[in-house]
């Protein structure tokens, strides 16, 4: 037995399955349930108003005529439509956001408000059509959006054009078999995959369970505390019930609107380890398990004070699970920590005669109030030992000491917190984190990442092209695809084929550079070129075996001059050990960004399978240029780098931006950042962030698919000059 106990030292180093960074995927067959769609009592007027206020929404203070012409607040209009047509007000809020980004928009245009729910308009419709006038106005839009959903339900069996549950239909040339009527109706209302995927993403971001089970939540408007368990919120009846289960300082403060996303569970009515006495029996409350005492004599012998008993009725105990009976031979029914002085890992959690090894950090996090007793090895060996590490309890915040990455425990797994924005938005505090090392984390299996869809909830990334307002080809461009958007809001003001995927050539390098700077690519170091590891066509820097280049110059070169071997050098020398892993990380990141139609297969852009859409490229470009390193590199007209050859000789080399427009000083606009790309499959591609020299307004210009390489900058220049001249009226802009 002694050898088995000492062998626990090697047990700590067991490596569980490799990290899994999966996220819940969009299922086009099932977007939302009928029960959720028709839950008209999900929120009150107050809940809707609190939700709008919590997001700083323009709608929180907006008043306008309702469908009947009476002036009402936006919250009232949404609530009344929900009640009239028996549709969930959350459904209406998501529709407003999906169609016009109007919930998060600080200053929506009149056009956004007039066509708030996208009712009555289509890709080929003119909003100036007199026939559509009866649908114009926020109040009418909300009323019609709720009304059409109820009409779909009432007429689903008699109208052939309404898409049907369990019946194949084709959306964007893809077969969809809706698994709920609500899903079928969404495709009837918006017959595009992108719009409905956007609906799903917004719903999941706003109304899905965000916080892990085990989290303690506190209402921002009261002193109420809740435990999240099995996806439901359980209110603590009093502070004593809370402090016997958790430390109040670990609670995350949330709005009432956030709390309303969780169904109510049973109340946590009694302090943990209470002695509950009915007329027939006496119980120890072990969290949610009632453990009966074999007799009153057992209660007395175990030393419980009758004055501390809580008298209850059998009705008070409905819903509790009955556990094992406590007898005089039961060892430590409420648990105790054994400390074995002669062991390297000395702590064991003991309960009911069973001992489990436990790290000191888990003792502190899980059992801070438990008694720690010194025992001998011989005493430990008398117990039944289970060689399984006692884990951190659900809701525990962990921090890896080596990298500073944070995790939250749920279901015995550690869920990585995706980024600092998510950490801050959810209300976590660094002071509440348990600091652990890499080896300790390896013994804990990985769960799904905890993240927020920042393209929807970030104050700086509110729009990014997610609105479903029809986009007009205002510039009548002959190019296969283009897009014009305000910067930094990302509100699209004109475009053509903005959701059609195309090969994107070297525009991929923006993602390569962004991923590198977020994967610990050390810009203070250098990388040595090797044909065997990094070779690629277009070695424009003339790198040879043994040539050394500063990483900061390498990064700038792939963005300014688009050197292909440089992209591979960066990918293989980032914080990810393999180029394949680096590409996988890029694809995970753009999935989190909501760039659903973008897929990357190599880091340079040579692979024709690298595809995206103008809408996705807008998201990628706006997000990437928030990084100063990326933006500054993309803004250089030229720069000089130094390369050290294999003999130690320094070679200076000046490279110029591939966008010839950056050197034209006579342009009425300034190019702040730009990236070019070209392959025979993709044609010429261009991203530009420009600023009007007169009014200083900034825009993103995206052009794709130009087959005339020699004249590839003529059309982007024409579009930009028309834009800033005011000759084209931007109907979607302020």
Tell me the C-alpha to C-alpha distance, in Å, between residue 267 and each of 91, 228, 320, 395, 409: 28, 11, 11, 19, 23
User: Are 251 and 261 within 8 A, CB to CB?
Assistant: no
Quick one: which of 123, 122, 115, 121 has its CA closest to 140?
Answer: 115
Q: Which tokens go with 350?
A: 């003991």
Is the pLDDT score of 634 beyond 50?
yes
Q: Which CATH class is domain 481-725?
A: alpha beta
Backbone angles phi, psi at 530, to 5 degrees: -140, 130
**Burial readout 660-693 (b: 16 or more C-beta within 10 A, e: otherwise):** ebbeeeebebebbbbbbbbbebbbbbbbbbbbbe
Quick one: which of 532, 466, 485, 366 has its CA closest to 734?
Answer: 485
Residues in the chain: 734
Q: Which tokens go with 656?
A: 């110029």
Adjacency order of strands within the sheet including 683-692:
492-496, 481-486, 698-706, 683-692, 669-679
**Burial readout 167-201 (b: 16 or more C-beta within 10 A, e: otherwise):** eeeebeeeebebbbbbbbbbbbbbbebbbbbbbbb
For a pLDDT cut of 70, what percent of the chain falls above it?
Answer: 93
Give the whole-angstrom CA distance, residue 8 versus residue 130: 79
pLDDT tens profile 467-490: 777 788 999 999 999 999 999 888
User: Are 66 and 143 within 8 A, CB to CB?
Assistant: yes
Tell me the C-alpha to C-alpha distance, in Å, between residue 415 and each of 12, 41, 74: 20, 33, 37
Sequence-distant (≥ 6) Cβ neighbours of residue 431 within 8 angstroms: none
Sequence-distant (≥ 6) Cβ neighbours of residue 354 within 8 angstroms: 383, 384, 385, 386
Give the whole-angstrom CA distance, residue 699 versus residue 688: 8
Is the pLDDT score of 124 beyond 80?
no
pLDDT tens profile 663-691: 999 999 999 999 999 999 999 999 999 99
Give the whole-angstrom CA distance, residue 63 versus residue 118: 19
What pLDDT sits at residue 129? 75
Helix (H, G, I), strand (E, B) or coil at 293: strand
pLDDT tens profile 33-54: 999 999 999 899 998 998 898 7
Query: Token match 């300790």: residue?
Result: 440
Across the chain, mean pLDDT equals 89
Q: Which residues pair with 375 in a beta bridge?
A: 340
Quick one: which of 462, 506, 514 has its CA closest to 487?
Answer: 462
What pLDDT sits at residue 63? 98
Quick one: which of 584, 595, 254, 587 has its CA closest to 456?
Answer: 595
> Residue 96: how many CB atoms within 10 A of its CB?
27
What pLDDT sits at residue 732? 53
Is the pLDDT score of 19 beyond 80?
no
> Residue 602: how many CB atoms within 10 A of its CB?
19
Q: Which residues pair with 218 in a beta bridge?
A: 225, 253
Query: Token match 């289960």: residue?
Result: 245
What pLDDT sits at residue 462? 47
Is the pLDDT score of 3 beyond 50?
no
Look up the pTM and report it: 0.68
Is the pLDDT score of 29 beyond 60?
yes
Give the whole-angstrom CA distance, residue 561 versus residue 654: 10
In the chain, domain spans: 2-17+397-442, 34-207, 216-264, 275-322, 481-725
DSSP-derived secondary structure letter, 236: B
């Amino acid at each position: 037995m002694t050898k088995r106990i000492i062998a626990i030292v090697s047990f700590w180093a067991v490596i569980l399955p490799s990290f899994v960074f999966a996220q819940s995927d969009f299922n086009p067959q099932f977007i939302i349930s009928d029960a959720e769609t028709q839950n008209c009592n999900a929120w009150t007027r107050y809940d809707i108003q609190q939700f709008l206020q919590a997001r700083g929404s323009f709608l929180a203070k907006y008043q306008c005529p309702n469908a009947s012409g009476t002036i009402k607040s936006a919250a009232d209009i949404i609530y009344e439509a929900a009640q009239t047509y028996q549709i969930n007000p959350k459904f209406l809020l998501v529709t407003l956001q999906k169609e016009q980004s109007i919930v998060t928009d600080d200053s929506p245009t009149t056009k956004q408000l007039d066509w708030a729910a996208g009712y009555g308009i289509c890709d080929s419709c003119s909003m100036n059509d007199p026939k559509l006038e009866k649908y114009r106005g926020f109040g009418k839009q909300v009323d019609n959006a709720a009304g059409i959903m109820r009409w779909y339900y009432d007429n689903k069996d008699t109208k052939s054009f309404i898409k049907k549950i369990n019946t194949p239909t084709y959306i964007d040339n893809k077969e969809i078999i809706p698994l709920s009527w609500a899903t079928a109706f969404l495709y009837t209302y918006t017959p595009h995959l992108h719009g409905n995927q956007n609906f799903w993403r917004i719903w999941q971001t706003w109304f899905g369970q965000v916080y892990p089970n085990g989290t303690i939540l506190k209402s921002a408007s009261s002193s109420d505390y809740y435990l999240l368990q099995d996806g439901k919120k359980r209110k603590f009846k009093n502070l004593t019930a809370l402090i016997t289960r958790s430390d109040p300082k670990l609670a995350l403060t949330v709005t009432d609107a956030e709390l309303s996303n969780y169904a109510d569970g049973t109340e946590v009515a009694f302090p943990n380890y209470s002695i509950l006495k009915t007329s027939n029996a006496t119980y120890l409350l072990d969290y949610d398990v009632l453990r009966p005492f074999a007799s009153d004599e057992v209660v007395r012998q175990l030393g419980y004070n009758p004055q501390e008993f809580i008298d209850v009725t059998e009705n008070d105990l409905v819903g509790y699970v009955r556990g094992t009976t406590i007898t005089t031979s039961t060892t430590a029914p409420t648990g105790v920590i054994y400390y074995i002085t002669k062991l390297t890992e000395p702590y064991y959690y003991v309960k009911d005669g069973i001992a489990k090894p436990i790290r000191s950090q888990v003792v502190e996090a899980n059992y801070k109030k438990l008694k720690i007793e010194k025992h001998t090895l011989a005493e430990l060996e008398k117990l039944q030992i289970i060689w399984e590490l006692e884990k951190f309890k659900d809701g525990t915040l962990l921090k890896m000491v080596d990298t500073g990455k944070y995790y939250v425990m749920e279901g015995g797994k550690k869920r990585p917190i995706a980024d600092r924005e998510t950490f801050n938005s959810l209300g976590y505090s660094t002071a509440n984190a348990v600091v652990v090392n890499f080896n300790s984390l390896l013994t804990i299996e990985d769960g799904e990442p905890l993240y927020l869809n920042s393209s929807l909830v970030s104050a700086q990334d509110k729009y990014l092209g997610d609105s479903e307002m029809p986009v007009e080809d205002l510039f009548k461009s002959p190019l296969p695809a283009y897009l014009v958007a305000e910067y930094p809001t990302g509100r699209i003001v004109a475009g053509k084929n903005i959701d059609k995927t195309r090969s994107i050539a070297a525009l991929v390098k923006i993602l390569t550079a962004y991923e590198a700077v977020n994967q610990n690519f050390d810009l203070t170091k250098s990388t040595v070129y090797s044909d065997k590891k990094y070779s690629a066509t277009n070695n424009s820097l003339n790198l040879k075996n043994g040539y050394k280049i500063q990483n900061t110059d390498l990064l700038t070169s792939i963005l300014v001059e688009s050197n292909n071997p440089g992209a591979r050098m960066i990918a293989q020398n980032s914080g990810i050990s393999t180029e394949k892993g680096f590409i996988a990380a890029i694809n995970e990141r753009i999935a989190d960004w909501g760039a659903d139609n973008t897929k990357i297969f190599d880091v340079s852009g040579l692979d024709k399978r690298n595809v995206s859409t103008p809408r996705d490229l807008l998201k990628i470009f706006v997000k990437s240029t928030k990084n100063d390193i990326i933006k500054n590199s993309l803004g250089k007209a030229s720069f000089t780098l130094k390369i050290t050859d294999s003999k130690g000789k320094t070679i200076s080399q000046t490279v110029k931006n591939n966008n010839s427009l950056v050197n034209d000083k006579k342009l009425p606009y300034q190019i702040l950042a730009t990236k070019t790309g070209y392959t025979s499959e993709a044609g010429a591609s261009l991203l530009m962030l420009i600023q009007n020299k007169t009014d200083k307004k900034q825009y993103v210009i995206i052009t794709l698919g130009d087959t005339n390489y020699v004249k590839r900058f003529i059309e982007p220049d024409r579009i930009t000059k028309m834009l800033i001249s005011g000759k084209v009226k931007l109907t979607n802009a302020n």
